[in-house]
Chain A
Amino acid sequence: MSISVSGINKRFGDFVALDNVSLEVPTGRLTALLGPSGGGKSTLLRIIAGLEFPDTGSVEIEGVQATWLPPQKRSVGFVFQHYAAFKHMTVFKNVAFGLEIRRKPRAEIRQRVMELLELVHLEQFADRLPSQLSGGQRQRMALARALAVQPEVLLLDEPFGALDAQVRKELRDWLRNLHDEMNVTTIFVTHDQEEALEVSDEIVVINGGRIEQVGAPADLYDRPANDFVMKFLGPVTTLDGQLVRPHDIELLAAPGQEAIEATVTRLTRVGFEVRAELRTSKGGSEPWVQLTRIQAQELDLEPGRSVWLRTTHAPKTLAVS
């Protein structure tokens, strides 16, 4: 285990930010801490980094008891949401800094920094100041800075949070590739489920200071431990009193086994997909269903038509709370 957190409690005044949190992160993995705002993700990450200290509980990093070590003594790299670039230093200096204070030989520093800048595609910006970079470039610089000291653990707190959707997506793929190349144990915080599902090996869902579930992306998506995880990881709708994913409902043109009758109330086309809103005849619940345009055409869907619904995915029956 690269990082082992156990029994962490953390309060801010009366407010419980983390409630008995335990977590194991294996070496070399890319783990996402996912959860809604205020859930305690940053607090947990900062405790791992040593920027915050727990009230009780312990943190071990690569087998070393680190609970009370200051950040300087933990082998961690940290990337902040708002870059925290050293504004008065060039890109080169920013990245070189951690090496300089470790008194590495000049030539070695130069070589290593240029390697890192190449890795983050900033080699031609070495002499610029951070203020002369775009947001995405600044964040890549911050990543190079964090990697420069060869940390055993890389921690990123919503690294792409301040960037626009396009750049986010680019950087996210790039982070995944980078991780595959370098294999540094990495934890990154996000409140974007798509980001977590796409990039990570493992997802830790945190809500209200507690861990709700830990697992591989597909596991969490298909076998959520509770309603919260189910709702947080993807779209949901209710059918016959059950939470289901809208793409797990099958529409039939004629009555079928265990199928429920419903009327189409509204059709919306979103790109290749069609979103059908329905009202069931019995119970009057109003699920919505996601299907492809071809499926919609085959069924000849239009508002007012009767259809029959049943779930395709073996329902992990979750009672609606």
Chain B
Amino acid sequence: MDQSTVELIRSSLGPLLEGMVKGTIPLTAISFVLGLLLALVVALMRLSPIWPVSAIARFYVSVIRGTPLLVQLFIIFYGLPSLGATIDPWPSAVLAFTLNVGGYASEIIRAAIISVPRGQWEAAQTVGMNYPTTLRRIILPQAARVSVPPLSNTLISLVKDTSLASTILVTETFRKAQELAGPTFEFFTLYMVAAAYYWAVCLVLSFAQSRLETRLDRYVAS
């Protein structure tokens, strides 16, 4: 590696870190949290015995999973203005990623809820618990352990998917790398540095996942 490359890497570390901390990470975190809340609602709707309710949820999941994330992002940012709704880059990205996580995670949560034995619902009812309490105190804690591995996958995918926001002018890690690479034509080096950042974040998340799994293991030990 020649001197100028080393120098370039060193000078790019700061801006790319800024892209991570101010762009990628908050975008991921906000979208994931909102997406999980949405996913829970959609999962409960899908489990509803009222068929129009579950049909709406099924339709939503089908659309989200059946169309490319990039297209969803473009529809929100470039498409909606022609209907008169202009949304800034950041909120557009949050909206798109939230909807996306909502679609995928709802299926995970639904499966996890179903995996809790029916006896748990019944036992909760007979000691006097209503539906929301049963869900919150009995079902979701037990569903949590089952859903941690697949939800971790969703989160890790999301970290990387947020790079798509660069296409709608959100200054996150990848866009920073593009901006730095533009004038210097050092694409390879800068994209490698960006990739290393993403990888590092995903490694941390994987580690956190296994810690969380161990902690939740006591819930499933039968």
**Cα(A278)–Cα(B158), bound, Å:** 80
In the bound complex, do residue A51 and residue B122 qualify as a contact, i.e. CB atoms below 8 Å apart?
yes
In the bound complex, do residue A146 and residue B127 qualify as a contact, i.e. CB atoms below 8 Å apart?
yes
Residues 128-171 of chain B, each 1 if its beta carbon lies under 8 Å from chain A, else 0: 11100100011001100000000000000000000000000000
In the bound complex, do residue A80 and residue B119 qualify as a contact, i.e. CB atoms below 8 Å apart?
yes
Minimum distance in angstroms from A122 CB to a CB of chain B: 17
**Cα(A102)–Cα(B133), bound, Å:** 12
A244 contacts chain B at the CB level, 8 A cutoff: no
In the bound complex, do residue B141 and residue A71 qualify as a contact, i.e. CB atoms below 8 Å apart?
no
In the bound complex, do residue B126 and residue A77 qualify as a contact, i.e. CB atoms below 8 Å apart?
yes
Q: A71-B125, A98-B127 are in contact. Are A131 and B120 (CB under 8 A)?
A: no
Q: A101-B133, A129-B221, A131-B221 are in contact. Are A86 and B120 (CB under 8 A)?
A: yes
Minimum distance in angstroms from A214 CB to a CB of chain B: 25
B218 contacts chain A at the CB level, 8 A cutoff: yes
Minimum distance in angstroms from A71 CB to a CB of chain B: 4
In the bound complex, do residue A84 and residue B125 qualify as a contact, i.e. CB atoms below 8 Å apart?
no
Q: A87-B219, A87-B221 are in contact. Are A72 and B129 (CB under 8 A)?
A: yes
Interface residues of A in 45-100 (CB under 8 A from B): 49-51, 70-72, 76-78, 80, 82, 84-88, 97-98
In the bound complex, do residue A88 and residue B128 qualify as a contact, i.e. CB atoms below 8 Å apart?
no
B123 contacts chain A at the CB level, 8 A cutoff: yes
In the bound complex, do residue A101 and residue B125 qualify as a contact, i.e. CB atoms below 8 Å apart?
no
**Cα(A146)–Cα(B127), bound, Å:** 7
B124 neighbours in A (Cβ, 8 Å): 86
Number of interface residues of A (CB under 8 A): 27
A149 neighbours in B (Cβ, 8 Å): 127-128
A129 neighbours in B (Cβ, 8 Å): 218, 221
**Cα(A20)–Cα(B27), bound, Å:** 62
B220 contacts chain A at the CB level, 8 A cutoff: yes
B183 contacts chain A at the CB level, 8 A cutoff: no
Q: A87-B219, A88-B219 are in contact. Are A82 and B127 (CB under 8 A)?
A: no
A307 contacts chain B at the CB level, 8 A cutoff: no
B184 contacts chain A at the CB level, 8 A cutoff: no
**Cα(A78)–Cα(B128), bound, Å:** 11
A71 neighbours in B (Cβ, 8 Å): 122, 125-126
**Cα(A102)–Cα(B125), bound, Å:** 13
**Cα(A131)–Cα(B119), bound, Å:** 16
In the bound complex, do residue A49 and residue B127 qualify as a contact, i.e. CB atoms below 8 Å apart?
no
In the bound complex, do residue A148 and residue B221 qualify as a contact, i.e. CB atoms below 8 Å apart?
no
In the bound complex, do residue B220 and residue A72 qualify as a contact, i.e. CB atoms below 8 Å apart?
no
A146 neighbours in B (Cβ, 8 Å): 126-127
**B133's closest neighbor in chain A, by CB?**
A101
Query: Could you list some 12 contacts between A and B, CB below 8 A?
Result: A71-B122, A78-B122, A78-B126, A80-B119, A84-B117, A84-B123, A86-B138, A88-B141, A101-B133, A129-B218, A131-B221, A145-B127
List 12 extra interface pairs beyond A71-B125, A72-B129, A86-B124, CB under 8 A: A51-B125, A70-B125, A71-B122, A80-B123, A84-B120, A87-B142, A87-B219, A98-B127, A98-B129, A129-B221, A148-B127, A149-B127
